[in-house]
Chain A
Amino acid sequence: MTLINEFRDKDLILALSELIKRESVKHLNIMEICGGHTHSIMKFGLSGLVGDKINFIHGPGCPVCIMPKSRIDEAIKLASRDDVILCTLADMLRVPGSNTSLQKLRGEGADIRALYSPLDCIKIALENLNKNIIFFAIGFETTTPMTASLMQKTVELDIKNLFFHINHVTVPAPVRAIMDDESVKIDAFLGPSHVSVITGYEIYEDIAKDYKRPIAVSGFEPLDIMDSVLNLVRQQNAGTHEVYNEYARVVSRSGNLKAKELISRYFEPCDFNWRGLGVIKDSGMKIRQEFSYLDARIKFDCEVNSKAESKACICGEILRGRAKPYDCKIFGKACTPKNPIGSCMVSSEGACAAYFKYAKEAI
């Protein structure tokens, strides 16, 4: 689609770069909540185009990066069973658990499948009636409706051998948890793109008001991010803290109502233990009681004894915005994309992986 190329137009990006540099008066720490933005900022070298006063801080918005070891260990325990086919989205396979990863387990013969779409589970379930199919579901509000849609199909088609291990999380709760930590210095936020497509930008309005911080909901293209940064600079100069919707070509204030209805039909909030951030109240999703017969954590034994995180890894500090990847002693040495120790190195959208790929000179 030509729009992609146009939103990467060099002359337009340089014009916005000039405006940002010209108008930046004070230092501005901008946290990009979403890992997709981290990836774009590093890939297109945007840090170098916004001037010295803008500092990008990489937030907790990568579903792979925030997955606690215990949840991975639960998936590994389930996938180790002879009567189970474990299905998930590709990035999760490489995340290290306490002793192994799903990828290594698959190499040893376990039936673990990386899906293109959650809907693929239906076909796998119907073709393997003698097995229990478990969908290891991950992601923020972006992917929660897809899981809910799959649950709806499972109920409608009365499929008896498909179960769900739910690890869905939400954006507002960790943002509030980070802002409540007084050691964190964040002046403004880049709001997530695709979470906002589902939720609408209204979910940020209370955060902007309560913490007096401007938020720009931004697309992933370089021009989107540059325009959003310019808006945040202008809001800082004007002393305002509004929610700016730069990504209006797909994001509305109220979001995708059909998707939101599906989410609330099948899920309710629960506490979730974030890798690096700890337990945050009402920050995750669990299956409603009515559909608990679909819950793999109830149906199967998921008890695990997980090891503590590596002491050398500072993913938690990075997710809070208190450290950069190259502040970590093992970054690029013991911890690389080929052999990730911490979760921020596993996903291509993790801050450490983005720094490793695009900013090796920073090591």
Chain B
Amino acid sequence: MCLSIPSKVLEIDENNVALVETLGVTRRVSLDLISDTVKVGEYVLIHVGYAMEKIDTKFALESLEIYKKIAEDMASGEIDEDEGDMGLNAMSERR
């Protein structure tokens, strides 16, 4: 029951209920658990009818860039044991 997928906010009504789209499927979820302001176009993580938290898409994209750099460096043989860190652990320090 824990699997949930990022959903894009399409509309927000006066009852703090958002219409969200998840992989092409739309549904309504409550924003009552979110302290931040949620705007149309942002992504939220939903679980049993509620948005649990906003998703920091900028941070997610930055993480992917770090992984891509690792893959590229490995493909070109530039990575060695000492360079193993590659900023992976630094990712956790953002928030």
Give A residues with C-beta under 8 Å from B: 1, 3-4, 6-7, 9, 11-12, 14-16, 18-19, 22-23, 34-36, 39, 61-64, 89-91, 115-120, 139, 142-143, 145-146, 149, 192-194, 197-198, 220, 223, 227, 230-231, 234, 244-246, 248-253, 256-259, 262, 347, 349
Q: Is the CB of B67 within 8 A of A248?
A: no
8 additional contacts, CB 8 Å, given A19-B84, A39-B3, A149-B30? A118-B49, A142-B2, A143-B47, A146-B48, A227-B67, A244-B89, A256-B53, A258-B35
Q: Is the CB of A36 within 8 A of B3?
A: yes
Q: Is the CB of A249 within 8 A of B63?
A: yes
Q: Known: A197-B53, A256-B53. Contact between A35 and B43, CB under 8 A?
A: no
Q: What residues of A have a CB within 8 angstroms of the CB of B48 in the complex?
A: 89, 115-118, 143, 146
Q: What residues of B have a CB within 8 angstroms of the CB of A34 in the complex?
A: 2
Q: What residues of B have a CB within 8 angstroms of the CB of A253 in the complex?
A: 95
Q: Is the CB of A197 within 8 A of B2?
A: no
Tell me, yes or no, whether B26 is within 8 Å of chain A by CB: no
Tell me, yes or no, whether B34 is within 8 Å of chain A by CB: yes
A-B contact count (CB 8 A): 156
A32 to chain B, nearest CB (A): 11
How many residues on B have C-beta within 8 angstroms of the other chain's C-beta atoms?
49
Map CB proximity to A onto B54-95 as digits: 1 under 8 Å, 0 otherwise. 111101110110011011001100010100110011011011
Q: Which of B56, B81, B91 has the most CB of A within 10 A?
A: B91
A89: which of B1, B23, B27, B84 is its contact (CB, 8 Å)? B1
B45: which of A19, A143, A194, A234 is its contact (CB, 8 Å)? A194
